[in-house]
């Protein structure tokens, strides 16, 4: 209740703040923010002191903090050394060092008090200090009197203890540098679990010294050495982030079988899978040698990964290899296993004690849920709150990932609206509800490369991070989008490339530095949603298909399309201005003309050829919109026949083709055309 009250206070103070000065673009929003009068100036004399627990991670965090502050302001900060004297601009105090590696359930709270004479950050342990430093950076503003942070008192702690990001490095490999910069991004938005999806049909991505053919034959040479794994774990721990490894079994495991075919339920030989989908190969759950292998392998990995949790995947076993194997049939009869689901449950029941013996808690996707397994396992739900609530009722802990799949190219607000405690979960008794630990954003990498992955993760993941950190009552989408925009800029400053890569990829597609005409198209399209990309592909895509096309460059959420939609809605509601009508016209004109502007380039670039039909559709929208505006300006209804023709053309433009992108401005143009059925909207130009 206190949280909710503070939140209201926070929202009120934000409203006041918006009038007085630039808004505080905090994300995730702290649980309590009280704004006071005044500012603390940032100048070259800025200094930091640390008292309390001695933890080298705090020293490192302060060094990173100062680097970032320098980068944000361009101000030379001379006080590089962190003093232990309390006389400093920012005085940090941690009561205790946090655990050597972060652990589930550690206290992550902090208090940040800023006045015009100095700032105090205090926390029970290191983790709160890390979070508080990020909040401080988010408060830095460029004011009329120079760079400064507003006077404010913040008490903050997370709503959920498990706030994760899963990255699939199997379908496309992601080098260590990509992982590290995404860990930087995670720290900035207070996510605390990096779930590393390390093996799948398309690749086995970790060096095993016990079973070296796993990476030697199963990875195309694209894997992490154990030294690199340790480096990433250390890097994450410095940022308060746990690393949970996932080795998917018994399905999604073709890459294991290339080197070790005897693990599979059919003889082989096996090749690394290049296609996408659910495939037949699965481990043989009836052979003791399978468990002997897993025992040694899990032992090796349990030693490499310090986190208490070990993810065994367990999803999407189609059972075909089991069905086709007579010996497995005999085994199932013998053990009274009625079907493949029971056979997989048998597998899990044999793997769980192995995981446990190596000191780890087993976790897996929805499919592993089975009443015979001990209650301390964790279920990660790709199915939804219902299956999560069900697990909680049975006494199992769970995480939500349904609704947080970033590769489906949904707008941020759709993820933002997904709450782990909604639906059936909202009806749980408190003692059951507390088993819902949080959630994880997931990026599956069929159509995601090391190049464009940042643009698939960011900035949308920041909205999910807020959902998992901030009070449940915070649901204003406009506020979220405004703060997401500022967050996106800050993430780019941290070294993430989600914005920079857009222009780079457009330049490559255009084969030219002159990307303006291509950008006209790219700005208002999005990759097709959900799993539509598969069905629109001309030839079956594989892991070797280049990801260098318009669909790979286009942003999952087009803010220019959003902006145009709003302009049109305002115009049709009579709330437009002459400027906004001029802007609508100018955009429609650019769209109308884009095929002509692109033609010269298209003759020279193979990648532009598939863009031309999209440009032609966009051009049709431009023409329809301009004609509609003419009718509306003249305050005369358009002929029904014209409208019918236009609406048909708009529908056609809205339907994605082989370029696999969706034009996002068809709906507002359709509204303009539909508005011509009656005379005159309240357009300022027509008044």
Determine if 538 is a binding residue for a copy of itself (CB under 8 A).
Answer: no
| Distance of alpha carbon 672 from alpha carbon 1, whole angstroms | 47
Of 220 and 342, nearer to a copy of itself (C-beta) is: 220
Contact 265, 282 (CB under 8 A): yes
Determine if 335 is a binding residue for a copy of itself (CB under 8 A).
Answer: no
Q: How far is the CB of 509 from a copy of itself (least distance, A)?
A: 8
Determine if 619 is a binding residue for a copy of itself (CB under 8 A).
Answer: no
Determine if 37 is a binding residue for a copy of itself (CB under 8 A).
Answer: no
Assign 3-state DSSP to the chain and report helix, strand, coil percentages, each to 5: 45, 15, 40
Q: How far is the CB of 604 from a copy of itself (least distance, A)?
A: 6
| Region 77-136 residues binding a copy of itself, contact defined as CB under 8 A | 78, 80-81
Contact 562, 525 (CB under 8 A): no
Candidate list 51, 59, 83, 143; residue touching a copy of itself; CB under 8 A: 143
Q: How many other CB atoms are there within 10 angstroms of residue 218's CB atom?
A: 28
CA distances from 37 to 22, 245, 248, 488, 546 (A): 14, 47, 54, 28, 54
Which residue do the tokens 């950076």 mark? Answer: 137
Determine if 202 is a binding residue for a copy of itself (CB under 8 A).
Answer: no
Q: How far is the CB of 493 from a copy of itself (least distance, A)?
A: 7
Window contacting a copy of itself (CB under 8 A); options: 98-106, 219-227, 233-241, 310-318: 219-227
Of 41 and 565, nearer to a copy of itself (C-beta) is: 41
Determine if 73 is a binding residue for a copy of itself (CB under 8 A).
Answer: yes
Determine if 624 is a binding residue for a copy of itself (CB under 8 A).
Answer: no
Contact 101, 306 (CB under 8 A): yes
Long-range (24+ apart) CB contacts under 8 A made by 540-548 are 540/275, 541/275, 541/276, 541/446, 541/447, 542/274, 542/275, 542/276, 543/171, 543/172, 543/202, 543/274, 543/275, 544/274, 547/172, 547/447, 547/448, 547/449, 547/451, 547/452, 548/505, 548/508, 548/509, 548/607
Largest CA distance in the chain: 85
Determine if 660 is a binding residue for a copy of itself (CB under 8 A).
Answer: no
Query: Binding string, 542-581, against a copy of itself, x = CB under 8 A?
Result: -xxxxxx---x-----------------------------
Mark whether 316 is an active-site residue.
yes
Determine if 49 is a binding residue for a copy of itself (CB under 8 A).
Answer: no
DSSP H or E run through 410: none
Q: How far is the CB of 538 from a copy of itself (least distance, A)?
A: 15
Candidate list 15, 18, 22, 679; residue touching a copy of itself; CB under 8 A: 22
The active-site residue, picked from 113, 296, 316, 674, is 316
Determine if 507 is a binding residue for a copy of itself (CB under 8 A).
Answer: yes
Q: How far is the CB of 474 from a copy of itself (least distance, A)?
A: 23
Q: How far is the CB of 478 from a copy of itself (least distance, A)?
A: 16
Determine if 492 is a binding residue for a copy of itself (CB under 8 A).
Answer: yes
Determine if 472 is a binding residue for a copy of itself (CB under 8 A).
Answer: no
CA distances from 192 to 6, 226, 377 (A): 24, 22, 19
Pull the structure tokens for residue 530.
């959900």
Determine if 606 is a binding residue for a copy of itself (CB under 8 A).
Answer: yes
User: What is the full DSSP assignment across 143-186?
Assistant: ETTEEEEEEEEEEE--S-SEEEEEEE-SSS---HHHHHHHHHHH
Catalytic residues: 316
Residues forming the site for a copy of itself (CB under 8 A): 21-22, 44, 71-76, 78, 80-81, 141-147, 220-222, 449, 451, 485-486, 489, 492-493, 500, 504-505, 507-509, 511, 513, 543-548, 552, 603-607, 609
């Amino acid at each position: 209740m206190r949280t909710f009250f503070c939140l209201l206070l926070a929202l009120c103070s934000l409203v006041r703040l918006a009038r007085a000065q630039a808004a505080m673009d905090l994300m995730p929003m702290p649980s309590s923010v009280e704004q006071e009068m005044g500012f603390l100036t940032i100048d070259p004399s800025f200094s930091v002191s640390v008292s309390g627990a001695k933890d080298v991670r705090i020293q490192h965090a302060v060094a990173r903090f100062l680097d970032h502050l320098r980068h944000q302001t361009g101000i030379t900060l001379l006080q590089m050394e962190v003093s232990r004297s309390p006389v400093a601009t920012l005085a940090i105090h941690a009561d205790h060092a946090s655990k050597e590696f972060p652990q589930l359930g550690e206290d992550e709270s902090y208090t940040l008090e800023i006045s015009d004479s100095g700032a105090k950050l205090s926390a029970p342990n290191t983790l709160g200090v890390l979070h508080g430093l990020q909040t401080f950076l988010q408060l830095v503003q460029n004011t009329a009197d120079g760079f400064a942070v507003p006077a404010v008192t913040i008490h903050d702690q997370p709503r959920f203890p498990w706030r994760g990001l899963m990255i699939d490095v199997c379908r496309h490999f992601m080098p260590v540098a990509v992982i590290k910069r995404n860990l930087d991004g995670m720290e900035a938005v207070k996510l605390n679990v990096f779930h590393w999806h390390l093996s799948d049909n398309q690749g086995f991505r970790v060096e095993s010294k016990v079973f070296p053919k796993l990476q030697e034959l199963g990875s195309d040479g694209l894997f992490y050495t154990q030294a690199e794994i340790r480096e990433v774990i250390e890097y994450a721990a410095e940022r308060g982030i746990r690393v949970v490894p996932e080795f998917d079994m018994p399905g999604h495991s073709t890459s294991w079988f290339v080197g070790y075919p005897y693990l599979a339920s059919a003889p082989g030989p096996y090749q690394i899978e290049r296609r996408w989908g659910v495939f037949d190969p699965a481990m043989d759950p009836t052979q003791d040698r399978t468990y002997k292998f897993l025992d040694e392998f899990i032992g090796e990995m349990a030693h490499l990964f310090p986190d208490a949790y070990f993810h065994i995947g367990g999803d999407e076993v189609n059972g075909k290899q089991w069905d086709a194997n007579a010996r497995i049939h005999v085994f199932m009869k013998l053990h009274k296993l009625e079907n493949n689901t029971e056979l997989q449950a048998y597998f899990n029941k044999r793997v769980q004690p192995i995981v446990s013996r190596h000191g780890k808690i087993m976790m897996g996707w929805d499919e592993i849920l089975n009443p015979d397994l001990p209650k301390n396992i964790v279920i990660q739900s790709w199915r939804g709150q219902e299956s999560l609530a069900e697990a909680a009722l049975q006494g199992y802990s769970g995480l939500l990932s349904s609704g947080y799949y970033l590769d489906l190219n949904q707008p941020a607000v759709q993820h933002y609206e997904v709450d782990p405690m909604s639906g059936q979960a909202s009806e749980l008794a408190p003692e059951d509800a507390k088993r819902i630990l949080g959630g994880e954003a997931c990026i599956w990498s069929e159509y995601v490369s090391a190049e464009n992955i940042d643009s698939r993760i960011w900035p949308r993941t920041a909205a999910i991070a807020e959902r998992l950190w901030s009070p449940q009552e915070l649901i204003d989408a406009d506020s979220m989008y405004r703060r997401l925009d500022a967050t996106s800029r800050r993430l780019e400053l941290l070294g993430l490339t989600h914005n920079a890569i857009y222009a780079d990829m457009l330049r490559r597609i255009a084969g030219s530095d002159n990307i303006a005409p291509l950008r006209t198209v790219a700005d208002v399209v999005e990759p097709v949603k959900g799993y539509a990309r598969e069905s629109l592909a001309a030839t079956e895509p594989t892991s070797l298909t280049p990801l260098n096309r318009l669909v790979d460059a286009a942003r999952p959420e087009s803010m220019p399309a959003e902006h145009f939609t709003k302009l049109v809605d305002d115009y049709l509601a009579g709330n437009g201005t002459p400027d906004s009508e001029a802007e609508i016209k100018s955009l429609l004109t650019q769209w109308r003309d884009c095929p002509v502007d692109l033609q010269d380039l298209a003759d020279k670039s193979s990648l532009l050829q598939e863009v031309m039909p999209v440009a032609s559709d966009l051009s049709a929208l431009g023409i329809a919109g301009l004609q509609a505006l003419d009718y509306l300006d003249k305050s005369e209804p358009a002929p029904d026949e014209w409208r019918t023709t236009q609406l048909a053309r708009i529908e056609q433009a809205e339907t994605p083709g082989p370029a696999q992108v969706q034009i996002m401005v068809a709906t507002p143009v359709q509204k303009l055309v539909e508005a011509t059925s009656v005379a005159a909207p309240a357009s300022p130009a027509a008044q």
